[in-house]
Structure 1
């Protein structure tokens, strides 16, 4: 039992590695130590807590209920210690080899990633980037556990343990093939409503910003095709008379005709989020500032007013 026992903090580093890898050999590889050293540390932890902590199962070393109870506290404590050290030594992007792992929506990937990669090569050439996408409900827990450093998402991602900063607000426009009958001339609400629309949303169902805006003025469009990703959209539009209402920053990346929406609609807002336990991490502060720089270089240019096609 623990009592007044003084505990080597390195044991908790081993605990975290075993929990993550569910295998003693893989944990040893991550920690760059021998497998017997990991086994010895696990034996000490078992003695301290009076619990096996991990038991063999078909999937590997499975955590016991006590280990599951401990992991969040252990990871938060280790992260806090890392932050204290980082705050003392600072962060030098020019020499850092850190890997940043972020959750990002597809909108953020399409709009920010090209500029972000360019700036990382210039300012932090030895850093790496991992971009993942997960259900919005999982993001706060992944940030709290340290599995994800930052998240770029809509303001809907709110949680009392998260801190955030605005990135940009992107207006919507309407895109179609360059030879589309509506690419020139009149383009009012009737033309918009009477067209067949492609709607892109990561969600399986539900209304988007455009539909809510139309509903507020008593109108409704026909969504003839619903997609979960933007990838097929340019090819589909270029070979049909369908139209699509999408963020302007994405529209200007493609060789399509763009028209301003003939009604008022809210902009697409994105923010970056991190867990409050790492909000003072110099590396993440730098990364957040870099995102803002990329936004200034990329989004502001892309969101300039859509010009009306020449008659």
Structure 2
């Protein structure tokens, strides 16, 4: 096979099929029809003299040949993308680009207002789309280009997903400053367990690490309200005598009275920033990573 005889657009189709495991979704991803994807796949099969993908009940499954060539193909596409992007340059003051960032509810509350304040000065026409993705879906969404960045808890390693730690945090017990217990600098375990509490959690979430630590002691919290939204929980704290176990950064940022938890925490909370290797040298993606790193550093120094 000589490269000058191969349509390089076929490699884009190959990458989309590999990522989506579906001809229809691959076409939607790159903006062509399903018949056009089928035609491209036929040409790819002829070029490589291999089926490349086999249709199964679970989607289009790559053959050993496809698995061998996907890495070099993606690296080549990445280099081409970087070359095009660098030739265009990136000026945050002039850019009207949209960057899609996956954040959970807590990250949105902690980071988005500060990020938007910074962007108003440095990149006034830049648009941010923030939405939550399930933890296990993030690598594929980054690989497919559906996400530019993701902010989430630590995850198992993936060679094509780059990451760095943005924040370390710990849980504290928070309450409104007028709470009857706000005069105390510490809480005994019995006081903590006697207070009705707010728990922010999604129904699919695993048990809270604090609840697991309490269970090892044979104890349990009194949960008066379960919610999926930290901002709503903050409003509830301001108007009631409920308490809430939250990361310390959240308590500090929202002017709550907080004390150390009367139970040993298993580990510090970590928040990581993720991006796909294909965007590692993308000027806009790199610039946004720098803004988030600086923002989090400033938050830690407050």
TM-score bracket for this pair, using the shorter chain length: 0.7 to 0.9
Counterpart position of 1:221: 221
Counterpart position of 1:115: 114
| Structure-2 change in CA distance of 1:27 and 1:210 (3 Å) | same
- Is residue 176 of structure 1 aligned with residue 179 of structure 2? no
Q: Which runs of 5+ in 2 are unaligned?
A: 17-22, 47-53
Provide, for residues 30-65 of structure 1, a one-character-per-residue CA deviation record: whole Å limited to 9, x for no partner.
xxxxxxxx99987974874589xxxxxxxxxxxx95
Counterpart position of 2:97: 98
CA RMSD of aligned residues (A): 3.9
Provide, for residues 210-242 of structure 1, a one-character-per-residue CA deviation record: whole Å limited to 9, x for no partner.
223434556432333322221321233234332
CA distance in 1, matches of 2:256, 2:168: 22
SS in structure 2 at match of 1:207:
coil
Shift of the alpha carbon at 1:83? Answer: 2.0
| Structure-2 change in CA distance of 1:257 and 1:90 (3 Å) | same
Provide, for residues 188-224 of structure 1, a one-character-per-residue CA deviation record: whole Å limited to 9, x for no partner.
2221122222111235353213223434556432333
In the superposition, the TM-score normalised over structure 1's length comes to 0.72
CA distance in 2, matches of 1:13, 1:49: 11
Residues 76 and 144 in structure 1, CA contact (< 8 A), matched pair in contact too: no
Counterpart position of 1:292: 293
Shift of the alpha carbon at 1:129? Answer: 1.2
CA distance in 1, matches of 2:228, 2:178: 26
| Structure-2 change in CA distance of 1:5 and 1:48 (3 Å) | farther
CA distance in 2, matches of 1:41, 1:221: 58
SS in structure 1 at match of 2:190:
helix
Counterpart position of 1:201: 201
Residues 95 and 125 in structure 2, CA contact (< 8 A), matched pair in contact too: yes
- Is residue 280 of structure 1 aligned with residue 281 of structure 2? yes
CA distance in 1, matches of 2:193, 2:41: 67
Provide, for residues 82-139 of structure 1, a one-character-per-residue CA deviation record: whole Å limited to 9, x for no partner.
1233356654333333221111111111111111112222222332211121111111
Residues 136 and 157 in structure 1, CA contact (< 8 A), matched pair in contact too: no
In the superposition, the TM-score normalised over structure 2's length comes to 0.74
Residues 104 and 131 in structure 1, CA contact (< 8 A), matched pair in contact too: yes
Counterpart position of 2:19: none
Shift of the alpha carbon at 1:22? Answer: 5.8
CA distance in 2, matches of 1:105, 1:19: 29
**Mapping for residues 1-311 of structure 1, pairs under 5 Å:** 6-9=5-8, 27=31, 45=40, 48=43, 65=55, 78-87=77-86, 90-156=89-155, 158-185=157-184, 187-215=187-215, 219-254=219-254, 256-265=256-265, 266-301=267-302
Shift of the alpha carbon at 1:27? Answer: 4.3
Residues 115 and 294 in structure 1, CA contact (< 8 A), matched pair in contact too: yes
SS in structure 2 at match of 1:169:
strand
Q: Which runs of 5+ in 1 are unaligned?
A: 29-37, 52-63, 302-311
CA distance in 2, matches of 1:169, 1:279: 23
Provide, for residues 158-214 of structure 1, a one-character-per-residue CA deviation record: whole Å limited to 9, x for no partner.
433322111011222212233322111362222112222211123535321322343
SS in structure 1 at match of 2:242:
coil
CA distance in 1, matches of 2:281, 2:275: 10
Residues 91 and 282 in structure 1, CA contact (< 8 A), matched pair in contact too: yes
